[in-house]
Amino acid sequence: MRRLGTVLALSAALAACGGGVSINQDYAPGTDFAPYRTWNWMPNQGSTANAANNQIVDQRVRFAIEQEMTAKGYQRATSNPDFYVGYQVLLDQETSYQTVNDYWGSGWNYGWYGAPMTSTSRTYEQSWTVGTLLVDFFDADERRLVWRGTAEGTVDPDRSPEERQERINDAVSQLLGQFPPGM
């Protein structure tokens, strides 16, 4: 049952990527991205390496990345690509606490109006899951990381499969909109 919960949470993590997504990139300074025209998936990159063996999430992410790469004019090459693409999904549980004080009584201070002021404090806990999608591009010849993009957003596990794919597509589109850098 715990494994099912993990799979659902990971699926939801990627579904979060859409509205309210934080996008960032980093790249190796001095890298000439102009010669990069062909790409392929990172060797050993696949459903067993990502999203806790969730093949549905793996298919959604791969579909979105392949769609964006094609739209940008990059061709997938199964042999001798210019660069490799890999991705990871990370989940982080966030918690926030808020304490609310309730005051009542007849005065501002004890005895001001002849009656003591009393108070009660209640603390509320709110938890949510933040999902992060990392997409890495590695130079095929030099075997080095040349670009990394991250998309981070709050997980919404109540999305339909169609909404999850749409949110992943949107996040990948925003993310790869920053590649190649400076162009």
- Which domain CATH number covers 145? 3.30.160.670
Report the 10 Å Cβ neighbour count for 69. Answer: 18
- The mean pLDDT of the chain is 81
For residue 42, is it within any domain? yes
Q: Is the pLDDT of residue 5 over 70?
A: no
For residue 182, is it within any domain? no
For residue 26, is it within any domain? yes
Report the 10 Å Cβ neighbour count for 119. Answer: 9
Number of domains in the chain: 1
pLDDT in tens, 107-138: 555 555 555 666 788 888 888 888 889 999 99
Query: Which pLDDT does position 182 carry in this prediction?
Result: 75
For residue 100, is it within any domain? no
For residue 74, is it within any domain? yes
| Among 157, 101, 97, 156, CA closest to 126 | 97
| Among 173, 167, 169, CA closest to 15 | 167
Q: Over pLDDT 90: what percentage of the chain?
A: 48
* Residue 74, domain extent: 2-93+128-176
Report the 10 Å Cβ neighbour count for 85. Answer: 22
Q: Is the pLDDT of residue 7 over 80?
A: no
Q: Is the pLDDT of residue 146 over 90?
A: yes
* CA distance linking residue 66 with residue 72, whole number of Å: 10
pTM for the whole thing?
Answer: 0.71
For residue 69, is it within any domain? yes
For residue 116, is it within any domain? no
pLDDT in tens, 10-31: 444 444 443 488 999 999 999 9
For residue 43, is it within any domain? yes
